[in-house]
Amino acid sequence: MKKIKLEIIGLSFSQTQSGAYALILGETDGKRRLPIIIGGFEAQAIAVELENMQPSRPLTHDLFRNFAVEYEINIDEVIIYNLKEGIFYSKLICSNVNGETKEIDARTSDAIAMAVRFNCPIYTYEFILSSAGVVLDETENIEEEKPKSLPKKSAEKKVVAGESEYASLSTEELKESLMKAIDDEAYETASKIRDELNKRKKSSEQ
């Protein structure tokens, strides 16, 4: 079967499942999008690598990458090869220094987390995109609306409705908080701070 190349389009909170995230993949040469619901830990593992964050200690996926590199094993590509009852099935196509190729079954969220670490392509097949893919208009926003954070009772500054809990901080304070969150391995907090910084960056560019 002909493989269709995918790229990571976005990562956001899921509106359908509490505590989960929506990973949006899109075909490189088309308008179809493939939304995949993944867990918070895997979402953090993908976001950390995409945003070039440096955790103080290696995450599980970083450990796997370091182990593979040490033994001269490379991940050449990731293939989302099946879809059954709403569950995506994926595999890692690996090779070693002797030119041997192996296929390793993996959860799709783990496979994508490894793909971004090895900078390898992600593929799927037409029947999967046909059954689970969606076509979005160019004017549509693919990222799901993020849930609004509730103001903390102990907060010194009142949080305006619709703003994040970090909206009252200065940009420098946000950057310092981001580095502290990364050092503390609080990646969900780091993700929220990064979102606030990105929102301010977009506003300044308009």
Tell me which residue range forms the domain holding 186: 148-206
pLDDT digit string, tens, across residues 124-171: 999 999 999 888 654 444 444 333 333 333 333 333 334 567 777 888
Confidence of residue 185 (pLDDT cuts 50, 70, 90): low
Strand partners, 36: 23
- Give this prediction's pTM: 0.66
Whether 32 is covered by a domain: the verdict is yes
Query: Which has the closest alpha carbon to 61: 46, 50, 78?
Result: 46
Confidence of residue 91 (pLDDT cuts 50, 70, 90): very high
List Cβ neighbours of 173 (8 Å cut-off, separation of 6 or more): none
Whether 54 is covered by a domain: the verdict is yes
Judgement on whether residues 71 and 21 belong to the same structural domain of the protein = yes
Q: Containing H/E element for 66? A: helix 60-70
- When divided into structural domains, the chain yields a total of 2
Whether 162 is covered by a domain: the verdict is yes
Judgement on whether residues 152 and 131 belong to the same structural domain of the protein = no
* CA terminus-to-terminus distance, the chain: 44
pLDDT digit string, tens, across residues 26-35: 999 888 999 9
Judgement on whether residues 130 and 175 belong to the same structural domain of the protein = no
- Distance CA(137)–CA(154), nearest Å, equals 43
Where a domain ends, among 89, 107, 135? 135
CA 138, 204, 191, 86: dihedral to nearest 10 degrees?
0
